[in-house]
Amino acid sequence: MDTSTHDGPAEHPTAADALAAIDAQQQRTTTALRPSPLGMFLPWGLGYLVGFGGVWLAIRGVLPDAVVTVLLVVAAIVPLASTGITVARSTHGLAGPTKRIGALYGWAWLLGFAALFAINIRVGFLGVPGPTLSLIWSGSALLVVGLLYLAGGALWNHVPQYVLGVWTLATGVLSVFVGYPANFAVLALAGGGGFIVLGLWLHAKSRR
């Protein structure tokens, strides 16, 4: 492939070596600055599986309520922490528009969920029957999540994330249509499964 000779000192590489060094270095840089899909998606998948799966099992009387409460807290905190750490580590030392886009997007999650909690808790106080309220939470929460992944996919031109958004919207709709308490099984298996498959697939792809 390389027909030129190494006639210069080491710091003056051949054209082929220079191109290879550029490609390797740029590959390394983009990989390092991009949050790892394992840290971003897998913990959420496991969180959905364990948290919503736990609620489903509790409703069926398989798990005691106290255990499920603990599971739910862990299933929310661990993925949140993992996402924060993954983003902080990958974008550490980076400044400029990319960092700002990420920060604004992160705030969109926080604001979206703050509004969601305010609305649904208020609706709950108005005396909606428990099973109906459960479906309101399922559908509305996954609507917010799905739309934010659509936005993320659009922002970063990242089709897999966009597909996750579509999958999440479909999961939310399905969960409402199957009704209570099967909505929790849908959230656990389809919701959690989507994150897990995407995380593992993106991870395998990045290692190839």
Partner 1 sequence: MSTDQTPVGLDPVIHAQARLRVTATLAALSPDDRLTFPRLQQLLDMTAGNLSTHLRKLEDAGYVEVTKAHERRTSVTYAALTPAGRRAFEQYRESLRGLLG
Q: By CB under 8 A, name the binding residues for partner 1.
A: 4, 7-13, 15-16, 18-19, 21-22, 25-26, 28-30, 32-33, 92-99
**4/132 with CB nearer partner 1:** 4
**9/61 with CB nearer partner 1:** 9
Rounded CA-CA distance 186/1 in Å is: 54
**27/132 with CB nearer partner 1:** 27
- What's CA 178's distance to the chain center, in Å? 24
**91/120 with CB nearer partner 1:** 91
What Cα–Cα distance (Å) separates residue 166 from each residue in 69, 106, 150, 175, 195? 29, 19, 7, 14, 12
CB of 202 to partner 1, least distance (A): 19
- What's CA 63's distance to the chain center, in Å? 27
Rounded CA-CA distance 204/19 in Å is: 26
Rounded CA-CA distance 195/81 in Å is: 16
Closest CA to 3 of 19, 13, 14, 12: 14
CB of 158 to partner 1, least distance (A): 14
- What's CA 26's distance to the chain center, in Å? 25
CB of 20 to partner 1, least distance (A): 10
At residue 2, what are phi and psi to the nearest 5 degrees? -95, 110
**62/101 with CB nearer partner 1:** 101
CB of 92 to partner 1, least distance (A): 6
CB of 18 to partner 1, least distance (A): 5
Rounded CA-CA distance 50/77 in Å is: 12
CB of 143 to partner 1, least distance (A): 30
**9/130 with CB nearer partner 1:** 9
